Structures are given as structure tokens and as C-alpha cells.
Amino acid sequence: MNTYLTAIATVALLYGALGLSLNLQVGRTGIINFGHIAFFGVGAYTSALLSINEVPLTLSVPVACVLGGLAAFPLGWIAARLTSHYLAIVTIAFAEALRALLQNLDVTGGPGGLVGVPRPFGELNPDAFAVIWFALAAALLTVTGFLVRVMSRGLLGLNLASIRDDETAAAMLGRDVAAYKTMVLVWGSALAALAGAFYAHWIGFVSAEQFDPRVTFYLWAGIVIGGASHAGAALGAAAIAALFELTRFFPDFGITAFSDTQLASIRWIVIGLLLIGTMRLRPQGILPMSSRHHLRSGPRVEKVRVDA
């Protein structure tokens, strides 16, 4: 039981890191990205393939991050030319095209995926293995949060906020909107790829079916419910993941009143009710981003007295 609960906590922390990487694009820059899970998959497949071919993790994980970021460059070019729901549709199509490609290439194992992905600490007993990977997931969330925070503060954070609030005005003030959007997409996608590499080596198996576009909507639901702050995005995504994992194994806890199909429907009903309740009672989320955040993080301006 303890091992199972630790595994659920690990999944929650992993989703929290994913939620933070998506929130950098959505909450901080206003980019409507519905294809974020694709870059999670790029990271997982890249690190898995390299490690299967005896490339050490110290090299395979950084390469996975780099390729995840590079895969976002086409979206950066598109994001500079499309806005709102047009960009949302394109990102979904991009993610599905990438998933179909991964699912049908021989090098990625085709529909069967990749088995035998090296699992560090796999020789340990299940309890020790679960605790170590929980600690690694906590480290992943901490590192992701730190890097996202760096991107969100100071002058860079102010520029991203200006693009989010009024893209046209930001462009008129000399901001290179296309460059900023591309940078944020690449940075957020690289962090998602890092989480994907973590997932591949924790599970030991990679398949395109694991990167269903619905996962991106779980992250979006977490951001809407939790709020666009760093803590809100991480907490919301983690809570959604915990909800799905806990209810998945209700029969193991003796709760047999619902079939697997009914449980799947109940999960969506619960998430829908949470979304409706949040939008009605707290539209900015449980932990919204402070309106003064960027002002506090920007350069300090001293008052100057001018005598007539």
C-alpha cells in the first residue's frame, strides 16, 4: 500500500512539473498551446532510444531536452502568425501528427512501443525504488519551478506579461513578439521533454498511446482550477493526476460499485464540476497570479525630485 501511494505521489509531482512548463506558455505569455504532451513524448522516446543503445543517462537526458526544444521551433513560427483559437487548433494537429509519426516509425517500436528501457535503481526492492523515484520527482518539480521562475521575473517577465496582456501594444513598443513566443515555446517544451525522459526511465516502457492529447487537457484543467501562479499550476495539475490515479484502483480498495467504464465517466464528471465551480466562484483559480507580481520582480525605479 505504501509503495502504491508513493507511486501516486510521484505521478502527481511529475504532472506538477508538466503543469509548470505549460503555465510558462499559457499563464505567463498567453500562448494557447493544446499540444504540450507531444514534447513530453519527444523527451521520453529520445532518452529511451539512446539509453537502450547504451548511451549513459547523463547524455541521453540532456539530448532529450534539446530535441524537445528544437521540436517546438515550428510552433514558434506558427505562433507568430496565428492567435487565439486558430493557434489552439494548429497545436492540437501538430501534437497528433507527431504522435502518429512516433507510433508508426520502426525505430520507435511502432504501435508496440519501446520495452526494456533502463530503469535506474531497478535492482532495489519495490519500497526503496518507490521512495528514490519520489525524491527524484520532487527534485524534478523543484528544478522546473526554479527555471520557470527565472523566466518569469525581471525584465524578461515584464516583456512576456506585456505580450500576454496586449500583443499589439507590445509590438508597437518595440518588443519582438515572434522571438519571445518562440523562446517561451522552446523553453517550456524542453522542460516537458525533461519530464518525459523522467517518465520513460521510471516506467521502463514507452508507447505513443501514453501521450494522448487528453493529457494536455488535464494540465489545462489543473491550471484553470489551480490558477495561473506557479504554485497554482503545479498544485492543480498534481491534484488532477492524483484524482485519476486514485480512482483508477478503487476496486483494490474494496470499492466495487462502479465498473471501469463508469469510473472513467465519473472522473470526467468530477473534473467538469470542479471547472464549473471554479469559473463560477473563483474565475482566477484557487491560487491566482498576483497582479503586482511583475512589478515587484522588475527593476527598481527610484523617485526623483525635480525642483521648478
* Residues 287/229, Cβ–Cβ less than 8 Å: yes
Asked if pLDDT for residue 298 goes beyond 50, the answer is no
pLDDT tens digits, one per residue of 178-227: 899 999 999 999 999 999 999 999 999 999 888 888 888 899 999 999 99
Query: What secondary structure does DSSP assign to 52-113, as a single string?
Result: HTT--HHHHHHHHHHHHHHHTHHHHHHHTT--HHHHHHHHHHHHHHHHHHHHH-TTTTGGG-
Nearest to 31 by CA among 236, 183, 191, 229: 183
115: β partners: 205
pLDDT on residue 292: 53
> Residue 59's pLDDT band (boundaries 50, 70, 90)?
very high
pLDDT on residue 251: 67
Q: What is the reported pTM?
A: 0.89
Q: How, if at all, do strands 114-115 and 205-206 pair?
A: antiparallel
* Residues 88/34, Cβ–Cβ less than 8 Å: yes
205: β partners: 115
Alpha carbon separation from 41 to 12, 36, 102, 295 (Å, rounded) = 18, 9, 9, 36
Asked if pLDDT for residue 83 goes beyond 80, the answer is no
C-alpha span between 214 and 98 (Å, rounded): 15
Query: What secondary structure does DSSP assign to 131-145, as a single string?
Result: HHHHHHHHHHHHHHH
Give me the long-range contacts of 260-266 (CB less than 8 A, separation at least 24): none
Q: What is the DSSP secondary structure assignment for residue 162, as one 8-state letter? A: H
**What average pLDDT does this structure show over 290-308?**
45
pLDDT tens digits, one per residue of 161-190: 999 988 889 989 888 888 999 999 999 999
* Residues whose CB is less than 8 angstroms from the CB of residue 215 and which lie 6 or more positions away in sequence, other chains included: 37, 40
Of the listed ranges 67-81, 147-161, 212-226, 285-299, the one predicted with least confidence:
285-299
User: Taking all residues of the chain, what is their mean pLDDT, rounded to a whole number?
Assistant: 87
